[in-house]
Amino acid sequence: ARVLGGHARSVVVPRGTGPRAVLGRVLHTAWPMHLQGAVVVGDGREVQVLHRRTWWVRGGRPVHSLARTIVPCAGVRAVGVHDHPVYADVRVVRIELDGTVLELPVRAGTSTEPALVGALGARWARLSP
């Protein structure tokens, strides 16, 4: 297996305009939301995503956990990517497998999204907008 991509832990802010969005950004300044980091590795047969047990952590406390999501390439039916509905600069990689759907939040502009789509989606023609 080799490292395909990843992103570091980062503070995220709500998207949108208007009073509700402004209030959300003010609250996030006082009590920030973090998208936890992830590393993508693969070998052509499977892709593994190493990440924290919970993708989202509020506040600045340290997190000590490790989870590993294993995606067998042969079971992937479709891969799609869309913007996160709440947080700016966060994308969601949606992986449809035999019998389940995984949605993995990734930081926009990092190597995580192209690593997942390249390793899993390049072999399948159906990509969501």
Q: What is the CATH number of the domain that holds 43?
A: 2.30.29
Answer yes or no: are the C-beta atoms of 86 and 15 closer than 8 Å. yes
Domains contained in the chain, number: 1
Asked whether the predicted pLDDT for residue 126 surpasses 50, the reply is no
In a domain, 90, yes or no: yes
In a domain, 126, yes or no: no
Task: Give the per-residue pLDDT at 129.
Answer: 45
In a domain, 62, yes or no: yes
Domain range enclosing 44: 2-121
Flag whether the pTM goes above 0.85. yes
Q: pLDDT of 48-97, one tens digit each?
A: 999 999 999 998 788 889 999 999 999 999 999 999 999 999 999 999 99
What is the percentage of the chain residues whose pLDDT exceeds 70?
94
Q: What are phi and psi of 114, to 5 degrees?
A: -65, -30
Asked whether the predicted pLDDT for residue 98 surpasses 60, the reply is yes
In a domain, 54, yes or no: yes
In a domain, 106, yes or no: yes
